[in-house]
Structure 1
Amino acid sequence: MRDLQQPGRSAVRAMDGLVATSHPLSSLAAIDMLRSGGNAMDAAVCAAAVQAVVEPQSTGIGGDCFVLFAPSGNDKVIGFNGSGRSPASATLDWYLDNGFAEIPDLGAHAVTVPGAIDAWCRLLEDHGRKGIDAALAPAIRYAEEGYVILDRVAFDWDDAVPRLRSDPTAARIFLKSGEPLRPGDVHRQPELAATMRTIAAKGRAGFYEGEVADDLVRRLKELGGHHTLGDFGATTGDYVEPVKTHYRGLDIHQMPPNNQGLTALLMLNILSGFELSKLDPNGADRLHLEIEAGRLAYHDRDAFVGDPALVHVPVAELLAPAYAARLATSIQADRAMTHLPRVRLPGSDTVYISVVDRDRNAVSFINSTYESFGSGVVGPKSGVVLQNRGRSFRLVRDHPNAIAPGKRPMHTIMPGMATANGRAIMPFGVMGGSYQPVGHVHVLSNLLDFGMDPQEAIDAPRVYHNDGKVAVERSVPSATVEGLRRLGHDVMPAVEPLGGGQLVWIDWENGTLTGASDPRKDGCAIGY
């Protein structure tokens, strides 16, 4: 139990249903959906749709999603890959011949065809009780009638001003006299509301065909993109088999490639060989081991992960216990490794949603437009912010993540699910671009190695190794910072909070649910 005399908040506990998201309007809409007869999938899509309006810097219907689903709380976890693909004419040769050294983060070339709406419609048809019209209703109301800008949303919005100014439609919709909105301002998105009404009436065809698709393709072509109406019409998500490993009594499930989820599993495999529970959870020794395991796992992520439909990804080999044990021998307890090349890991803005309903259907759901306000390209008539997930592609021949026609890029957004003894135990996730594997591992270790309750596990201080430096949050003890420096780490203050997470823990014996939501965001867990 937390120290009630210290700042913080208690975990949320309930019996019939529990939702945890990064925005209170999203959590409330999902709870309303559950209480009106919807199930966990209905609630998750409803929550994602609200956040597509009220957190436009982080997510939207012009983005992608991934989902892990445990029907009735069993351990036969279903994965759904709702990530989009590059245009059919986007060849590596074209980019190299036209002088590109990398995919730019702004503009049409960063845009892969959005997969979110196809995924939402498919998941509701297959696993929901209500339709896309009911799921979109709260989001449409907020887009039409307005919503209040919250503090973390405004923090991110302020940082994205140059991006928004680069596109006239983005500037018109998301800036006020050329300046960002502030906490307490009311914002409306009538064009997006109209688009969502079209989708509510027509389903996926309302996005991938007709006026909305025409608007988006026309704008992308004006900016030099390869996108066609055929690319939009051909978009379809896929059911996939999750990948998993075992850690401290739980099976941990992640999305397979093209997702980076196996990065977290490789980290867990490496760390399973160390007795973390004997260390100070916020001490330098524990965080050093996490940092080093992450450096090894990210090195392999960047070397091997791509779209398995087009390249071979050696998943079984990467997740073999013997391989992790071999990697672990590179880690020295008394000093940082020096043999690994520096890897720059871009951040992103994302929303993660965790839902469990009365029937113990458990949904782990993540949706994103990647970097803040995605590509900066907004449909002039539709109001849709298009993602910049194509930014993840490499322009390197024979690299597994090299751009190619109709290819999915390596994806950072990753839902997690824990199971044990034939049952789902916890849908969980931590947002934050490439930080996410570290975030997943840190929260899991807080729970399983150090016995923290769900809210404590999410609240705990975080560090992150990126591009040769270790970013530390202000809550990291000063003695720990100095300890990391003595171990050879180049430590710097984190310029923004590291990630943001949610989870719901299922206690089958007592018939209860315990939820937590990250104070680094604006959201909350709500149960009933």
Structure 2
Amino acid sequence: MVSTQNYIATYVGVKILEQGGNAFDAAIGISAVLSVVMPHTSGLGGDGFLLAKTPEGIIAYNASGWSPKRLNVEKIPSVRDPSTVVIPGLVDLWDFVYRQYMTMDLSEVLRPAISLAANGFYVGRELAKVISKSNNMPRSWSEIFEGKRMGDILKLRELSEVLKIISKDPKDFYESKLTEEIVNGLNSQGVNVELSDFADFKGEVVKPLKSSYRGYTLYELPPNSQGITTLESLKMAEIQETWKLRFDDTKRVKELVNIFILAYEDRNKFVTDPRFYYPEEDLLSEERLKRRLSSYSASEMKMNTKDTTFFVVSDGENEVGFIQSLFFPFGSGITVKNIVFNNRGYGFTEGHNKPEPRKRPLHTLSILMAEKDDESLIIGCAGGDLRPQIHTQVLQYYVDYGLEIDDAVYYPRFVFLGDRIFHEKRMNLPFQELDFFTNEVGVVQALKRKKDIYIGVADPRSEGVALPAN
């Protein structure tokens, strides 16, 4: 089963499975295709995380990038400033999967993405929309994307050549002649990066956070990911028994918003690169969260709803959740060899999460896994800061209101943006209305396994599809 945010990526993933590849082979093929056809969401200039269930246990990998050694700003000045570019980790994640879990040749798995980049693909609706809304972009971006409309052919020949190099050895992205060319291209556009920033970079296998919600065991990615924010939100919702109210009861929504505020306060105070700081207190302890619930807050906070793409794939043995991102649409916009580079450094704030050299910022990417008896779920989404809210609502629809996982994804959602509550028109709420189905409340992909039956779900709020493999 494959579910992605793009029909071409889903098709490629299914074909890899049907050729005898496993879920990890398919995941790298899908990741590469998404990097080509959805360059506003993710790509070789961005980062990624993986959370997978295998017969040997659960695997989690953090391939989020660190800031350059020469970063010397106390505050990141603006959204697309060159100082926002961190070393991209996605290709390191490919390298990890390739060396540990793949069964097929990497060049075979990357062939569809190489072909799409070289020969061109039709610009999709979402990509065209984001291009039309992008302004004040760097010249290197404009030369490739400016003026492209839905249905136009877009060719990324330099990216195709980079993918060919990676298909022989992914490490060449980080220490080769290609790296020198990338570093020179970034330097010429104001990014204060050096070769050693790439050569020294390495993602890491991490231990997932573990919690529970109403009989389900939950797993999420640890800091610097905001996965802990989802687990805090769900545990506080369990304590408050929010499921006793109708899903669109105004009282339930207000209760959840209060819970989200507390969880985000903790995130903003405690979550950063754990190599620099890790809280001594167990943020997920029930006693602590009960105390938190007695201290409602009116903190002002701002939520970013930015681009990312998440997908799920299973081969009947392994279940893989994979998320990749540039952060904002087209990241920094700084482009080298058709690779658009991230602006993930904009995730730095102050306190424990202040900008420092070789540091990973607080990261919005996370993946939720839930297990109970003979069933398991993987839930992920595009949604930026809103991800914990979206993960919470989808899991609650499934657990609290008895919806099947496809209906749990389709059901209407609300989002709290820091100063206002927005909701899809299908909810009967006295807050600001959005359209009936809108990606402003996130784009979710999900996978459910019960015994040996799989259900894959692609959010109708996107161009994605879910397909089974024969």
TM-score by length of 1: 0.85
Decide which of 301, 308, 320 is 2:285's aligned counterpart: 320
Question: What are the within-5 Å matches in structure 2 for residues 362-441 of structure 1?
Answer: 362-379=319-336, 382-394=337-349, 396=350, 399-421=351-373, 425-441=376-392
Equivalent in the alignment of 1:9: none
Q: How far off its partner does 1:496 sit?
A: 5.5
Q: Is the 8 A contact 1:70 1:77 kept in 2?
A: yes
Decide which of 245, 259, 265 is 1:299's aligned counterpart: 265
Equivalent in the alignment of 1:454: 405
Q: State the distance in 1 between where 2:255 and 2:106 align.
A: 45
Q: How far off its partner does 1:492 sit?
A: 6.1
SS of equivalent to 1:169: helix
SS of equivalent to 2:361: coil
Q: How far off its partner does 1:366 sit?
A: 0.3
- Is 1:308 matched up with 2:286? no
SS of equivalent to 1:77: strand
Inter-CA distance 292–131: structure 2 relative to 1 (3 Å threshold): farther
Equivalent in the alignment of 1:88: 69
SS of equivalent to 2:282: helix
* Range that drifts further, 122-131 or 237-246: 122-131
Amino acid at match of 1:392: G
Q: State the distance in 2 between where 1:371 and 1:357 align.
A: 32
Aligned length: 467
Amino acid at match of 1:82: A
Q: State the distance in 1 between where 2:390 and 2:105 align.
A: 33
Inter-CA distance 329–63: structure 2 relative to 1 (3 Å threshold): same
Amino acid at match of 1:413: L
Q: State the distance in 1 between where 2:127 and 2:110 align.
A: 21
Decide which of 170, 175, 180 is 2:141's aligned counterpart: 170
Equivalent in the alignment of 2:456: 515
Question: What are the within-5 Å matches in structure 2 for residues 333-372 of structure 1?
Answer: 339-359=297-317, 361-372=318-329
Amino acid at match of 2:449: I
Q: State the distance in 2 between where 1:280 and 1:454 align.
A: 18
Q: State the distance in 2 between where 1:131 and 1:119 align.
A: 16
Q: Is the 8 A contact 1:473 1:497 kept in 2?
A: no
Amino acid at match of 1:525: A
Equivalent in the alignment of 1:239: 205
Decide which of 81, 84, 87 is 1:113's aligned counterpart: 87
Equivalent in the alignment of 2:420: 469
Equivalent in the alignment of 2:52: 69
Q: Is the 8 A contact 2:189 2:334 kept in 1?
A: no
Deviations 1:81-114 (A, max 9, x none): 0111111122xxx324xxxx43422132110000
Q: State the distance in 2 between where 1:47 and 1:268 align.
A: 30
Q: State the distance in 1 between where 2:359 and 2:73 align.
A: 15
Q: How far off its partner does 1:123 sit?
A: 1.3
Q: Is the 8 A contact 1:82 1:237 kept in 2?
A: yes
Q: How far off its partner does 1:317 sit?
A: 1.7
Q: State the distance in 1 between where 2:461 and 2:399 align.
A: 22
Equivalent in the alignment of 2:59: 78
Amino acid at match of 2:197: D
Decide which of 182, 185, 188 is 1:222's aligned counterpart: 188
* Range that drifts further, 51-60 or 148-157: 148-157
Deviations 1:301-320 (A, max 9, x none): 00110111111234x52100
TM-score by length of 2: 0.95
Equivalent in the alignment of 1:4: none
Inter-CA distance 233–260: structure 2 relative to 1 (3 Å threshold): same
Q: State the distance in 2 between where 1:252 and 1:424 align.
A: 12
Q: Is the 8 A contact 1:259 1:411 kept in 2?
A: yes
Q: State the distance in 1 between where 2:446 and 2:389 align.
A: 16
Amino acid at match of 2:89: G
Q: State the distance in 2 between where 1:417 and 1:40 align.
A: 17
Decide which of 101, 104, 107 is 1:133's aligned counterpart: 107
Q: Is the 8 A contact 2:117 2:155 kept in 1?
A: yes
Decide which of 140, 145, 169 is 2:119's aligned counterpart: 145
Equivalent in the alignment of 1:10: none
Q: How far off its partner does 1:424 sit?
A: 6.4
Amino acid at match of 1:114: P
Q: State the distance in 2 between where 1:279 and 1:471 align.
A: 19
Q: Is the 8 A contact 2:69 2:358 kept in 1?
A: yes
Q: How far off its partner does 1:258 sit?
A: 0.6
SS of equivalent to 2:352: coil
Q: State the distance in 2 between where 1:499 and 1:238 align.
A: 27
Long gaps (5+) in structure 2: none
Q: Is the 8 A contact 1:103 1:393 kept in 2?
A: no
Inter-CA distance 103–80: structure 2 relative to 1 (3 Å threshold): farther
Decide which of 174, 184, 203 is 2:170's aligned counterpart: 203
Equivalent in the alignment of 1:488: none
Equivalent in the alignment of 1:183: 150
Deviations 1:236-275 (A, max 9, x none): 1100000021012211111100110000000011000233
Amino acid at match of 2:256: E
Q: How far off its partner does 1:226 sit?
A: 2.1
Q: How far off its partner does 1:152 sit?
A: 2.5
Q: How far off its partner does 1:77 sit?
A: 1.5
How high is the sequence identity, in percent, across the aligned residues? 29
Q: Is the 8 A contact 1:282 1:461 kept in 2?
A: no
Deviations 1:63-93 (A, max 9, x none): 0001111113x6x311100111111122xxx
Q: State the distance in 2 between where 1:260 and 1:103 align.
A: 23
Decide which of 238, 244, 251 is 1:278's aligned counterpart: 244
Q: Is the 8 A contact 1:26 1:47 kept in 2?
A: yes
CA RMSD of aligned residues (A): 1.8
Q: State the distance in 1 between where 2:457 and 2:466 align.
A: 6
